[in-house]
Structure 1
Amino acid sequence: MRKILIVGAGQSGLQLALGLQSQGYEVTLMSNRTADEIRSGRIMSTQCMFHTALQHERDLGINFWESQAPRIEGLGVSVAAPDSTRPIDWVGTLDGYAQSVDQRVKMAGWMETFAQRGGQLVIHGAAVSDLDFFSRTYDLVMVSAGKGELVSMFGRDASRSPYDAPQRALAVAYVHGMGPRPEHPDYDAVRCNLVPGVGELFVMPTLTTTGRADILFWEGIPGGPLDAFQGIKDPAEHLSLTLELMERFTPWEYARATKVELTDGSGTLAGRYAPTVRNPIGRLPGGGLVLGVADVVVANDPITGQGSNSASKCAAAYLSSITEHGDRPFDEAWMQSTFDRYWDTAQHVTKWTNAMLGVPPEHVLNLIGAAGGLQPVADRFANGFNNPADFENFFYDPALTDAYLTEVSSASGASGSSVPE
């Protein structure tokens, strides 16, 4: 059977490795950390996976934590006014529930499963020179490690990358002790709190190494009041600042966070990066080619919560391309067509995410406002997180937005409830 090397043990690399392994491929997986080091290390992301991405895991039988992770039934949007009230506040119901599993839990568990099933696991940080050698001994080499030297092999695609600098400063804290939203205490939802001109606060339930928890995630406009986490090394100080900013800008979320504590000493994260689409094929000094995977080649800002979803969809698309290709060579044309297959999905994520990073135009504000009184609008917006391609039909074009709102208003008599049943 054909030999495949995957460098990087995140959502896409491990999902792809386990999928190929189940199809009988001889797979080697390289990781710069052991499973135990991942499990006891720092949090890595703010993952919330929606139905389609979760289904890819179910299809492979690797949804090991589905019964333990909170079932996220909805997605809510609140918009803050200058006086810290909420003129807009609604929640849309998801057609299929979402879930978040701390990547320390998932990646460590998947890595152990891969090894137990006979996969070759190599704990070693890979350099370009390593790949130069490996490209001659494997039928296909894929890079799914989205940071470091290896990413430099994949050139930036300027035509698909409108931003050349970070558009948000990111700050994450995993906490225990978060209370429910009082308006629907038994209903788990991702909460998107928009603070115009300042940034966004996302709150989402998750499963972490110590059980059920919540993620507090600030996205701050650079140079603004939320851009305050650089240089903070102490986790307690990070949490204190997170709460201070919540009290100032989103007091309704702060009200249920007064008793929180960090899940563990590694439960905070801060940073920033420029959203970038890269060319999918890396050229090695010796002439070999490697294929970039997921956020190596399409790295979006996490404002739309698509990172782990996109990684799962990329792994699923690549798995299909590999298995359908049979014994033919994995040449440059195949690599490009394989990426293009993924880009059919990813382009919608990139377009939507980049739009959300900008100042929303009037018709988008009207859409978000209308969702408070028109439940079908709230539901459709919420389900766009699972299928971002649908935003093409009602989000970007003012005429399409107006026509959609007119249609829904007529059908509902301009009535609707924003409270889930």
Structure 2
Amino acid sequence: MRKILIVGAGQSGLQLALGLQSQGFEVTLMSNRTADEIRSGRVMSTQCMFHTALQHERDLALNFWESQAPRIEGLGVSVAAPGSHAAPGGTQRAIDWVGKLDGHAQSVDQRLKMAGWMETFAQRGGQVVIHGAAVSDLDFFAQRYDLTLVSAGKGELVSMFGRDAARSPYDAPQRALAVAYVHGMGPRPEHPEFDAVRCNVVPGVGELFVMPTLTVTGRADILFWEGLPGGPVDVFQGVRDPQEHLALTLDLMKTFLPWEYERSADVELTDANGTLAGRYAPTVRKPIGRLPSGGLVLGVADVVVANDPITGQGANSAAKCAASYLTSIVEQGERPFDAEWMQATFDRYWQTAQHVTKWTNAMLAPPPEHVLNLFGAAGQLQPIADRFANGFDDPSDFEHFFFEPEKADAYVASFTG
């Protein structure tokens, strides 16, 4: 029985641990927090997962909350008219549409999911070590395992993995992030009959995402601001009081997105740990880390490919990475998990991840004219809206109609003649 150590108990680490466990591997999971500490801690992300990522969970029978979480059946985009928030009467929408998803999406608070998965892993005989690992700790532990995987996306361990400059065009954060989980959100005035994620774009200011979720206190909505650094939304640094965080969130909505503010008038935080703020530079790293003793470790998910959450791909990519790595590990059989295998395992995942990185980095830049034209056409032509929405599940499709003006124009012309 091959012995595997996984450091980090997030979407990728736990999904991979449970998957390997089901295949008969002896798996040790190292986490810096217990399941109870995770469940009672601060929210960690927004985690709207689309069909392919959800299917990876179903394949391992880990979709414990699927019947409870809201079924997200659409994805809407609104673009505020340039400069209109400065005018009397507030912001107007230049673009507004909702695309339908082929397969539903869902968001389950990671406090619920990671705590539940960790308890399941332990109940099935997996060893859980509660320890915040430094590189020196890992050097000691890794010698006892056939393979060590690092899926803890923050902290000292990430420094073992060198930045891949050719794949990382940004060296600084491109957005200031601020999340609030709330109860009491009113229904969307358009298509209230089904749940949808809303992406509201304020050119030159940032984006606000609104998404239904299942949290520790039941059904809720997530208000997620992505502000341009130094701009009017970049005001959450240093805010420690959750109520002040919520008040800032709502005040910015009132100023820039009155149509979302109108249905948020009566919201309250789901719990005292229902807010999160921060920023990080989107970075692709080399997948193999070398320990002081010479041993090798393999980076997982956002340790090696960390994208800005503007395209909502973090948890999706983590699930896809875990599924890809699981296949590669099982296929390796009794052969060694050497550097060549590690690089090939990452390269296999990169075939999927490269599309996410390209699309996400494009969305961080001001939209070029052909993309604005696409957004506008989606408001008139439902198939374009639907295709854009489903690109969140399969970002490789954007290669065919999104990046290049010629392809975008030809795609729109195929409807309009």
TM-score range normalised by the length of the shorter chain = over 0.9
Superposition deviation, residue 8 in structure 1: 0.1
Q: Which runs of 4+ in 1 moved over 3 A?
A: none
Matches within 5 A, 1:376-395: 376-395=383-402
CA distance in 2, matches of 1:185, 1:142: 44
- What percentage of residue pairs aligned between the two structures are identical? 82
Find 1:371's aligned residue among 362, 373, 378. 378
Residue 274 of structure 1: SS of its match in structure 2? coil
Mapped pair 1:339 → 2:339: no
CA distance in 2, matches of 1:409, 1:306: 32
Superposition deviation, residue 135 in structure 1: 2.0
Find 1:190's aligned residue among 197, 203, 206. 197
Find 1:262's aligned residue among 247, 250, 269. 269
Mapped pair 1:173 → 2:180: yes
Letter in 1 for 2:243: A
CA distance in 2, matches of 1:14, 1:174: 24
Mapped pair 1:230 → 2:211: no
Given that residues 132 and 285 in structure 1 are in contact (C-alpha distance below 8 angstroms), is that contact kept between their aligned partners in structure 2?
A: yes
Superposition deviation, residue 328 in structure 1: 0.2
**Cα deviation code 1:149-174 (max 9, x no counterpart):** 00000000000000000000000000
Letter in 1 for 2:42: R
Per the alignment, residue 8 of structure 2 pairs with 8
Residue 246 of structure 1: SS of its match in structure 2? helix
Matches within 5 A, 1:298-377: 298-377=305-384
Letter in 2 for 1:70: P
- Indicate the larger mover: 56-65 or 183-192: 183-192
Superposition deviation, residue 408 in structure 1: 2.2
Aligned length: 410
CA distance in 2, matches of 1:244, 1:371: 29
Per the alignment, residue 135 of structure 1 pairs with 142
Per the alignment, residue 34 of structure 2 pairs with 34
Mapped pair 1:102 → 2:123: no
Letter in 2 for 1:278: R
Superposition deviation, residue 19 in structure 1: 0.1
Mapped pair 1:401 → 2:404: no
Letter in 1 for 2:353: A
Return 5+ residue gaps in structure 2 as ranges: 85-90
Matches within 5 A, 1:235-246: 235-246=242-253
Given that residues 374 and 409 in structure 1 are in contact (C-alpha distance below 8 angstroms), is that contact kept between their aligned partners in structure 2?
A: no
Given that residues 48 and 308 in structure 1 are in contact (C-alpha distance below 8 angstroms), is that contact kept between their aligned partners in structure 2?
A: yes
Query: What is the RMSD computed on CA atoms of the aligned residues?
Result: 0.5
CA distance in 1, matches of 2:235, 2:242: 14
Per the alignment, residue 53 of structure 1 pairs with 53
TM-score normalised by structure 2 residue count: 0.98
**Cα deviation code 1:69-96 (max 9, x no counterpart):** 0000000000001221011000000000
Per the alignment, residue 88 of structure 2 pairs with none
Per the alignment, residue 70 of structure 1 pairs with 70
CA distance in 1, matches of 2:245, 2:367: 29
CA distance in 2, matches of 1:259, 1:132: 52
CA distance in 1, matches of 2:331, 2:415: 42
**Cα deviation code 1:347-398 (max 9, x no counterpart):** 0000000000001110000000100000000000000000000000000010
Per the alignment, residue 416 of structure 1 pairs with none
TM-score normalised by structure 1 residue count: 0.97
Given that residues 165 and 274 in structure 1 are in contact (C-alpha distance below 8 angstroms), is that contact kept between their aligned partners in structure 2?
A: yes
**Cα deviation code 1:159-200 (max 9, x no counterpart):** 000000000000000000001111222210000000000000
CA distance in 1, matches of 2:241, 2:137: 36
CA distance in 2, matches of 1:400, 1:103: 38
CA distance in 2, matches of 1:276, 1:183: 37
Residue 41 of structure 2: SS of its match in structure 1? coil
CA distance in 2, matches of 1:104, 1:299: 20
Return 5+ residue gaps in structure 1 as ranges: 411-421
